[in-house]
Amino acid sequence: MTITQIRAGGDRNFSYIIADPKTGEAAVVDPGDPPLPEREHLTRNNLTLRYILNTHDHSDHTGGNAMLANSTGAPVAMHASARSRHDIDLHDGDRLPLGSGTLRIIHTPGHTRDSICILAGEDLCTGDTLFVGKIGGTGLGTDAREEYESLHGKLMTLDPETRVWPGHDYGVRPSSTIGDELRENPFLLRESYTAFLDLKKNWAEYKREHGIK
């Protein structure tokens, strides 16, 4: 599998094209609005779009769905709890065939109830669950607890060499690895949920103290 990161406009959004070069089948993750770079990449590389995948149901991640679906005929796949129109319901642990490989769906509620991450071999599209050195925004209630459990119970158990591809360019670099995030991400370095929540409550002050934008 190959993965191509595309700057998709919005609030420093990224979209991704996952492809199997052997068969030419591809999936687009969180297409931009409009999804012109994605369409150009598919055409230039003779790729057939098999899926349009959304990491969660926010307009900056779903805005290109309709245009891309209309021009390619590819179905839209989202977590089953997503409210936006989609063709395929996804659940935790689902595996979508793509060429000679598969895409593994990891349900990671927290930022939204329907948030998912997509694992393609050693590449992980994390949407707004995990950024480079940061994590997705939540309130301070059940959603924060769910995010903590998604991060530690699911993502941080993956191989440390797994490459992290976030939904926004919010970090010090546009990609990372699970191992780097375990070593460097201040939220993941907190030793308990209480400490994790405390950092969320005081994140603005922490950023000022450490020169984080």
What per-residue confidence (pLDDT) applies to 156? 97
Per the CB < 8 A criterion, the answer to whether 57 and 83 are in contact is yes
Segments of the chain with pLDDT less than 70:
none
Instruction: Check if the beta carbon of residue 57 is closer than 8 Å to that of residue 45.
Output: no
Nearest alpha carbon to residue 61 among 32, 24, 39, 25: 32
User: Cα angle vertex 125, ends 170, 40, to 5°?
Assistant: 90
pLDDT of residue 172: 87
Model pLDDT for residues 112-165, shown as the tens digit of each residue: 999 999 999 999 999 999 999 999 999 999 999 999 999 999 999 999 999 999
Predicted pLDDT of residue 135: 97
Pairing of strands 88-90, 76-79: parallel
pLDDT at residue number 210: 87
pTM: 0.96
- Read off the tokens for 21: 């070069």
Helix/strand/coil for 67: helix
Residue 187, phi-psi category: left (phi > 0), alpha (psi -120 to 50), beta (remainder)? alpha
Half-sphere exposure of 141 (CA within 13 A, CB side): 3
pLDDT at 103: 98
